[in-house]
Structure 1
Amino acid sequence: MTTIRPATPADVPTILRFIRDLALYEREPDSAIATEADLLRDGFCLAPDGITPLSSPRRFDCLIAEHKDDVAEGSATPVGFALYFASYSTWLGHHGLYLEDLYVSPEHRGSGLGRALLARVAAIALEQGCGRLEWSILDWNQPSIDFYHRIGAVMKSEWLGMRITGNALTTLAASTTT
């Protein structure tokens, strides 16, 4: 039996493990530098102790998928997650959701769990009145591309993702004139 529920602060070590597993799958294990403190701060507005509230805004939401082999016995095991946050479309004049990460443990892939997580995020988007749900996919990840096409997602072929980080971000910010 599989269930999907909102993540709690107690899930932060599991979320971080899934993030690192996803980074390894996406061939960039050294790029996943997030810490438990980062996730507590940005997902739950908590200090690193996991208890003290912070005044910082919540930056993301997360769902945890759990599997229990025997409904009557034992505890559920986390087997996947979906992490998302609010976006905004100036063209629609409305907010949306951006799915940052969707991950299912290898032994549970093909079970419908990825679709169930994505469907729950889509339901949340509709509950919140969002105009769209978006995410990115690596161009070499054909199994995921095929999966997304099967559920009706459309690839934006004319739009290319851009990113600036590290020294380039610092340099650009320093070049502002006021």
Structure 2
Amino acid sequence: MEHTSVIRRARVGDLPRLAELVHEHVAYEKSAPRPPGLAERLGPQLFAEDARLWVLLAETPDGTVAGYAACSAEFSFWDARHYLHMDCLYLAEAARGHGLGAALMDGVTGLARELGLDQVQWQTPDWNEGAIRFYDRLGAAGRPKQRYSLAVEPSRGQGGTPPGPGSASR
């Protein structure tokens, strides 16, 4: 029986390999290294009963987890509807060019459909010409924008959990 590539949801046992792939992805994008304990921080976010974060994994025919796509449901205020935000898509270098990226994207669009969402949005660095060509071949539409990030110092006594709907800090 021939084993083919598989796209599947991440399981708890995948956390060590997923963290390795994230660290590879961070290095590939020339970003600052992340602090230790990534797998321990991701686990509760991915596997809580009310989790709103999904990770799809790409397995090669030999069963190696070679890539991932991380997604969450987001709200577009301008469109007044939710969409699936693909925060990351990454394939290990040796796994590129074998159809796993397209398979991951099929998995992501399938997840959006399963969740009742009619759009997937993501971004990629403007220097990542290979990714841009790949997304263009899929028929995706690029929208130029600059992404910003602002660090916020936590208030005393807050553990970093976002406030629930309707709550505000004063």
Percent identity for Structure 1 against Structure 2: 29
**1:103 corresponds to which residue?**
90
Among 80, 91, 96, which residue is 1:93 paired with? 80
Instruction: Specify the alignment match of 1:137 in structure 2.
Output: 124
Distance 2:37 2:44 in 1: 11
Aligned 8 A contact 1:23 1:32 in 2: no
Q: Does 1:13 align with 2:16?
A: yes
Q: Quote the residue 1:68 is aligned against.
A: 61
The Cα offsets for residues 105-139 of structure 1, whole Å up to 9 and x where unpaired, read as: 11110111011101110121122221321111011
- Map 1:47-86 to 2 at 5 A: 57-69=50-62, 76-86=63-73
Q: Which residue of 2 aligns with 1:4?
A: 7
Q: What is the aligned-residue RMSD (CA, Å)?
A: 2.2
Aligned residue pairs, count:
156
Residue 26 of structure 1 aligns to which amino acid in structure 2? Answer: E
Contact map agreement 1:66 1:79 (CA 8 A) in 2 = yes
Highest RCO, 1 vs 2 (Cα 8 Å, sep ≥ 6): 2
Q: Flag structure 1 segments of 5+ consecutive residues without an equivalent.
A: 46-54, 70-75
Q: 2:160 maps to which residue? A: none
Q: Give the TM-score, by structure 1 length.
A: 0.79
In structure 2, runs of 5+ residues without a counterpart are 157-167
Q: Which has the higher helix share?
A: 1
1:146 to 116, 133, 136: 133
TM-score scaled to structure 2, two decimals? 0.82
